[in-house]
Amino acid sequence: MMTAFHAPFCSKALLLPPLLLSLTLLACSATAQRTAPPRERISINTGWKFYRYNAATTPDTLIYDVRPEIKENQDTRPADARPTEAVSITASQNVLKPWILPTGNNFIKDPAKRYQRPTNSPGNNFPFVQPDFNDNNWETVNLPHDWAIKGPFYEGWQTPVGGGMGRLPVQGVAWYRKAINIPKSDAGRNIFLDIDGAMSYAMVWLNGQLVGGWPYGYASWRVDLTPYIIPGGNNQLAIRLDNPANSSRWYPGAGIYRNVWLVKTNPVHVGQWGTTITTNNVSKDAATIGLQVIVDNNAHTNQPIELLTLIYAANEDGQQTGKPVAKFNTWKGAIPPNASDTVTTTTSLPHPKLWGPPPTQSPNRYVAVTTVSAMGKIIDRYETPFGIRDLRFDPEKGIFINGERIEIKGVNQHHDLGALGAAFNERAAERQLRLLREMGCNAIRMSHNPPAPELLALTDKLGFLVIDEVFDCWELKKTPHDFHLIFPDWHEQDLRAMIRRDRNHPSIFLWSFGNEVGEQYTGEKGAALAKELYSITKEEDTTRPATIAMNYAKPDMPMPGVTDVISLNYQGEGIRNGGAYTGLKGISTPPLFPAFHSKFPDKLILSTENASALSSRGTYLFPVYSGNSAPVRDSMGGNSKIEQVSAYELYSVDFGASADKVFATMDQHPFVAGGFVWTGWDYLGEPTPYYLARSSYSGIIDLAGFKKNRFYLYQSHWRPEFPMAHILPHWNWPDRLGQPTPVHVFTSGDEAELFLNGRSLGRKKKAPYEYRLRWDEVKYAPGELKVVTYKNGKLWAQDSVSTTGTAAQIKLSADRTSLLTNGKDLSFITVQVTDKNGLTVPDAHNLLQFSIEGPGEIVATDNGDAANLVSFTSHTREAFNGLCLVIVRAKSGQPGAIKLKAAAAGLQPAMVNLTGK
């Protein structure tokens, strides 16, 4: 049994003696059950008032806790630097932590360790939390909202936020206010506020009373509003956020950046994330489905109920269809007052449609619909989407899904959406995933935090495999104000909350409870903490393995022995080892796949981070490195003056490697189940090696969503059955006439012949562990480069690049021209600067101006240039190597024709027509 939070609230029960109070609460509950749906989940994303303290204003003193003083600049600290000890500090002022900690009590296993809330309510006299406070001068915003993304960017050194966190104004204290109407018919119901993500140290007041909060900015969490609700009118919500600078190694975003919901239930209801579905004995003929349901009774009396769960097939959007395909046995019993009970049952489903990753399998899904009934009436209805799949880990052969070996062809993804910032948008997230799928990617590692719930719904829908990860650090710190400050108080709650929220997603195949944590360095002490987190993970879910991503721990150290899966960051191909990496300062490691496999022969091995290769789309620097992998330097693949890295795709961070080197290492160790590239897309922050820039260089796809050459290198290797060929570089080199200009070809074929202006430059065949074909001595002459590729001696694919004319016109192409007017749907419009023949001019940097007509708005612009510090909200932007991006949204509730126009001096303008529906 678990103790529930609160008894239900009823307005007319305020001043009654205990016996009459109990009877009145039951009467209110019965009235609510007659007049309201059994469960409501209402989006309250629109119409919030927002205020952020500016630099000249001293924030209020309603702080969660004190933080240590920062004495050093952390911005350019190497990503693999050793984490350091926490700084001890004692609070010298009143803090609100004692009132916030009880919010997580339901996720603390030991009742003796749960927190008791103090009796008073701090902040109740503060103006911002009062219902009668006049917030008309505050900004009106809709959620999800990232207050920092509009900028402006901070430029130069010694700024409040440096390149590591994206040079955007994420820091500071801000408030959100919204009045929610609670009708009298809701008297007697339980009312909860569900926040999918708020960055960070969130604290919630309702009608002037402090309700609770949650400090970890990536967590999804709930507060119970029931005791503070006044039915029959407006109830004032006020949410305070406090986002520290120096709290992250990447752009964290700022604000209430995920969805927010009002959930209304009867006092007896399925608990928060209260269902767990497991699948066993899976075959094409049948599957055993296990179900666990937690039912909360927040009333003062025993509640006899009937629990029934039916299983339906789901459509592509995850919605139930048709008639039930299976049912669980009906459970009847009584739930004790102010408590919870757990119901466990199983059923068999004949001929299940299995969930599995494309292209060889299909991501079929089901929905379990649980109803709770009392006295013949349904008092709660709860839906649980899930999938049926058999998952097997073989330390010699890899991962098997439904009996088929699936090589992990994965990427790491941070949570931002480029020019949209951290504010979650399902359309933008799906665009990212579909481009990765085109490349051949089949897996995503959520680095290094729980994602938006809707992102996991997308990975379920599209059939991606997922590593769900919770922490980037534990007790030792990577930045002065990161998660280590709250880890001792919150690690159990955060870990259990993530797993309970996410464990029914079939796309998740592995839990990760740490990334490159400093405790790798602390021997048995660090391993003991790892064992604690491992135990929590296993208590919440026994159906999936658990791991830690390790960049330092070696086979003979204690930490690797804790986990089910050996997850290695960069250690497989070696760190600062061999060739151009020899002698570099930092972690230095030989290739360790064999050593780990020998030490842990019963554990599967994954490469959870590899490559960390760097490049700037369309930028080529000479000379070109003659080997297959090198660290970026000004003399080798980099130019610190223009802050760009060569797109020949041979260069990496000091501790990384090129894709070519990684491919070779993986292919030579077939027992490795696969790996995850750092990263799929460029992301805001961490702009190694140029920390005056705004965003990373490591993506296979740039921040605007344009494919780098590396996209085709991965596609050639990950989709060997797909006929493709790709030539680099572009062929506009007037200043290199007659000079050697290396030409490289990426192809899924095994042989190719290169032609310059119709003349053959030779036919070449890939050698073992070779992943590109190189013609490094081609002397530049304008005209056409063409490659013809072969596979097994047969014609396979062709590609060509040509010298273009001067920039003459603009071309616009929208990825969708019909937009829903729901305030969320987006069109991503590619802008190309072309010559008179329509060829994209690959070195064009024309200044473009955008305007819009009709019921639409330009949300953001970008060009993929990591060094560009023009605000994303600007309607004026230079093309970067011939391309630019405009993101357009139809105005909410306003259908009609929308026209986006693009113009530039000396170029023929362009227009694209969109329609809001």
Tokens of 505: 């997603």
> Are the C-beta atoms of residues 676 and 835 closer than 8 Å to each other?
no
pLDDT at 676: 98
Instruction: Retrieve residue 693's tokens.
Output: 């820039």
Residues 672-685 have pLDDT tens digits of 999 999 999 999 99
Ramachandran region of residue 685, left (φ > 0), alpha (ψ -120 to 50) or beta?
left
Tell me what the pLDDT averaged over the chain comes to.
94
Average pLDDT, integer, range 208-219 = 98
pLDDT at 4: 31
- In this structure, of 47-61, 66-80, 872-886, the range with the lowest mean pLDDT score is 66-80
Query: Domains along the chain?
Result: 39-265 (2.60.120.260), 268-387 (2.60.40.10), 407-618+653-711 (3.20.20.80), 728-802 (2.60.40.10), 809-916 (2.60.40.10)
d(Cα 135, Cα 139) in Å, to the nearest integer? 9
CB atoms within 10 A of CB 102: 16
Percent of all residues in the chain with a pLDDT value above 90, rounded to a whole number: 92
As a whole-number percent, the residues of the chain with pLDDT over 70 amount to 95
Task: Choose among 457, 456, 425, 453: nearest CA to 824.
Answer: 425
Q: Name the token pair of 522.
A: 């602390």
Q: Could you identify the residue written with the tokens 């693009």? A: 902
Q: 387, exposed or middle or buried, with CB in 10 Å at 0-12, 13-18, 19+?
A: buried
User: Residue 707 phi/psi, 5° resolution?
Assistant: -75, 130
Nearest alpha carbon to residue 83 among 657, 663, 639, 521: 521
Burial class (CB in 10 A: 0-12, 13-18, 19+), 735: exposed
Residue 129 is encoded by which pair of tokens? 């939390």
What gap in Å lies between CA 698 and CA 705, rounded to an integer?
A: 13
- Judge whether residue 85 has pLDDT over 90: no
Q: What is the CA radius of gyration of the chain?
A: 28
Q: What is the pLDDT of residue 160?
A: 94
For residue 872, report the phi and psi dihedrals to the nearest 5 degrees: -65, -20
Nearest to 600 by CA among 647, 633, 553: 553
CB burial string 334-349: b at 16+ within 10 A, e below: ebebbebbebeeebeb
Q: How far apart are CA 374 and CA 335, in angstroms?
A: 11
> What is the predicted pLDDT for the residue at 557?
97
| Mean pLDDT (whole number) for 123-139 | 96
Q: Is 119 exposed, middle or buried (0-12, 13-18, 19+ CB in 10 A)?
A: exposed
Higher pLDDT, 380 or 2: 380
State the pLDDT at residue 12: 32
Cα gap 851→833, rounded to integer Å: 17
Beta bridge partners of 547: 512
585-601 pLDDT tens trace: 999 999 999 999 999 99
Give the pLDDT band (50/70/90) at residue 92: low
Residue 760 Cα distances to 143, 432, 497, 776, 785, angstroms? 58, 38, 62, 14, 10
Question: pLDDT-derived band of residue 81, with 50, 70 and 90 as boundaries?
Answer: confident
For the chain, what is the total number of helices (H) and then of strands (E)?
9, 50
pLDDT digit string, tens, across residues 358-416: 999 999 999 999 999 999 999 999 999 999 999 999 999 999 999 999 999 999 999 99
Supply the pLDDT for residue 3. Answer: 30
In the structure encoding, which two tokens stand for residue 179, read together?
């009045």
Residue 890, Cα to own-chain centre: how many angstroms?
25
pLDDT tier at 1, thresholds 50, 70, 90: very low
Whether omega before 359 lies within 30 degrees of 0, making that bond cis, reads yes
Which of these, 549, 626, 555, lies nearest to 590 by C-alpha position?
555
> What is d(CA 508, CA 453) in angstroms, rounded to the nearest whole number?
12
- Asked if the model's pLDDT at residue 763 lies above 90, the reply is yes
Q: How far apart are CA 169 and CA 489, in angstroms?
A: 28
Q: Which pair of tokens denotes residue 897?
A: 């024709």
Residues known to be catalytic: 516, 609
Residue 763: name the closest of 789, 796, 725, 792 by CA.
Answer: 789
d(CA 904, CA 516): 47
Span 783-801, average pLDDT: 98
- pLDDT, tens digit, for every residue of 805-847? 999 999 999 999 999 999 999 999 999 999 999 999 999 999 9
List of E strands, 351-447 = 366-374, 377-386, 391-394, 398-401, 404-405, 408-413, 443-446
SS (HEC) of 209-260: EEEEEECCCCCCEEEECHHHCCCCEEEEEEEEEEECCCCCCCCCCCECCCCE
Instruction: Please give the Cα distance from 911 to 897 (Å, whole number).
Output: 13
Amino acid letter, residue 602: D
Quote the distance between the C-alpha of residue 412 and its chain's center: 9
User: Minimal CA–CA distance to 567: which of 605, 539, 514, 526?
Assistant: 605
What 8-state DSSP symbol labels residue 745? E
Chain segment 559-585, per-residue pLDDT in tens: 999 999 999 999 999 999 999 999 999
Give the Cα separation of 171 and 169 in Å (integer). Answer: 6
* pLDDT value at 6 more than 90: no
Residue 329 token pair: 């046995």
Residue 91: band (very low, low, confident or very high) from pLDDT cuts 50, 70, 90: low
